[in-house]
Amino acid sequence: MGDRGRYSRRDMFLGRFLRGMAEGVAEELHREAVLRADARIERDDAVAGVEPPAPEADGASATTSPAPGAPAPLGEVNWNPSPKTGRFATRPDLPSAPPPARRNLPRVHRPPGALPEPQFLAGCTRKNDCAAACPVDAITPVQEGPGAGTPQIRAAERACVSCTDTPCITACGPGVLTLSRGVKMGTARIAPSACVAYRGVVCTSCVNRCPVPGAMELAYGRPRILEAACTGCGVCHEVCPAPRNAVLLFPGID
C-alpha cells in the first residue's frame, strides 16, 4: 500500500486543514507587505513632488488592444493584489499610463543631516565639499547608479566619528545636509550569531569606541545598541573584530 496506507483518513483531513491555514496566513502576510510597500512609495512620491499620472483627455490617441495572450500594458495592471488570491489582476477599466517615475531608490549611507533621498539627489551639486571638510576622510563619492558622484559613508572602510561641530554640514553649499534634519544617519544592530561576546569571549570593542553617549551599553557582558540614541555613524561596524562582522548597519531612508 506504500506510505499512503500508514495514514488514516483523519490524518489526511488534518493535513489538508493545516495546509490550507498555512496558505491563508502566507497570503495575508503577502497582502500586508504589499500594502506597507505601497504606503512607503506613496509617501516618497509625495516628498519628491511626483504627481500621479493623469488620465488622457478626450480625443487623445486610442491605445491598441493587446493581442490575445499578450501581457497587458503596465497602466492596465492593478498592482494591488486580489483580496482572494493575492495575485495581480488585469484591470482594463484603468487608463493606459506609465507608473510614476519615482520608485525604490537604493539605500545609501549618507552623511549626517541629509535630506530625504529624492530631494538629496535633486539638490546635491556633487562637488564633494563635504568630503573635503571631513577631518577623518569618512565621506567618499558614490561610484555608480542614480547617485553617482554624491557623498556617502562606507563605514567598513572609515566610519563617521560624529564631530560635534559637523564640518560636513557647514561646508554643504546647496543645503542638502542641514542641522534641521538632525545627525541621525541610520541605526545599527548586533547580530548575536556573529558576535564573539555571545559565545563567551570578552569583547567590548564596539562599546568602548562608540562616539555617541548612551548609544551602546554592556548587558551581561554582551553589547547592546540603544536605537533611540544611535545615530548610525558606523564606528561599531568599523571596529568589530569578529570574523564575520557582527554589527549590521541600516542607513536611514525617508
pLDDT per residue as tens digits for the range 45-56: 666 565 554 544
How many structural domains are present in the chain? 2
Q: Are residues 135 and 169 in the same domain?
A: yes
Contacts 24+ apart (CB under 8 A), 212-215: 212/162
Is the same domain home to 83 and 122? no
Is the same domain home to 130 and 35? Answer: no
Q: Is the pLDDT of residue 137 over 50?
A: yes
Flag whether 67 is in a domain: no
The HSE-up count of residue 219 (CA atoms within 13 Å, CB side) is 9
Residues 195 and 243 occupy one common structural domain: yes
Tell me, what's the pLDDT at 56?
Answer: 45
Same domain, 121 and 239: yes
Does the pLDDT of residue 108 top 80, yes or no? yes
More confident position, 2 or 178: 178
Strands 186-190 and 88-90: unpaired
Identify the residue with better confidence: 64 or 188: 188
Residue 241 has pLDDT above 90, yes or no: yes
Residue 58 above 60 pLDDT? no
Binned at pLDDT 50, 70 and 90, residue 79 comes out as very low
Say if residue 237 is in the same domain as residue 121.
yes
Tens-digit pLDDT profile for residues 141-175: 999 888 899 999 999 999 999 999 999 999 999 99
Q: Return the C-alpha cell found at 32.
A: 500586508
33 in a domain, yes or no?
A: yes
Q: Cell for 66?
A: 493587446
In a domain, 88, yes or no: yes
| Run of H or E residues at 170 | helix 167-171
Q: Are residues 210 and 132 in the same domain?
A: yes
Q: Which three cell numbers stand for residue 134?
A: 571631513
The amino acid that residue 145 corresponds to is G
Instruction: Give yes or no for residue 94 having a pLDDT over 90.
Output: no
CATH number of the domain that residue 195 is part of: 3.30.70
Residues 6 and 88 in one domain: yes
Mean pLDDT for 18-26 is 60
What are all long-range contacts of 220-224, with beta carbons under 8 Å and residues at least 24 apart?
Answer: 221/197, 222/190, 222/192, 222/195, 222/197, 222/198, 223/190, 223/195, 223/197, 224/190
Grade residue 38 by pLDDT with cuts at 50, 70 and 90.
low
How many CB atoms neighbour CB 114 within 10 A?
Answer: 30
The predicted model scores a pTM of 0.58
- Banded model confidence at residue 34, pLDDT cuts 50, 70, 90: low
Q: Does 158 share its domain with 41?
A: no
| Any domain includes 192 | yes
The answer to whether residue 66 sits within a structural domain is: no
Q: For residue 111, what pLDDT band results from cuts at 50, 70 and 90?
A: very high
More confident residue, 23 or 159: 159
Report yes or no on 61 lying in a domain: no
161 and 89 fall within a common domain: no
Domain that holds residue 16: 1-47+74-97
Grid coordinates given for 7: 495514514
Of 45-54, 127-136, 221-230, give the lowest mean pLDDT range: 45-54
> What is the rounded CA–CA span in Å between residue 75 and residue 61?
15
**229 shares a domain with 128:** yes
pLDDT at 62: 44
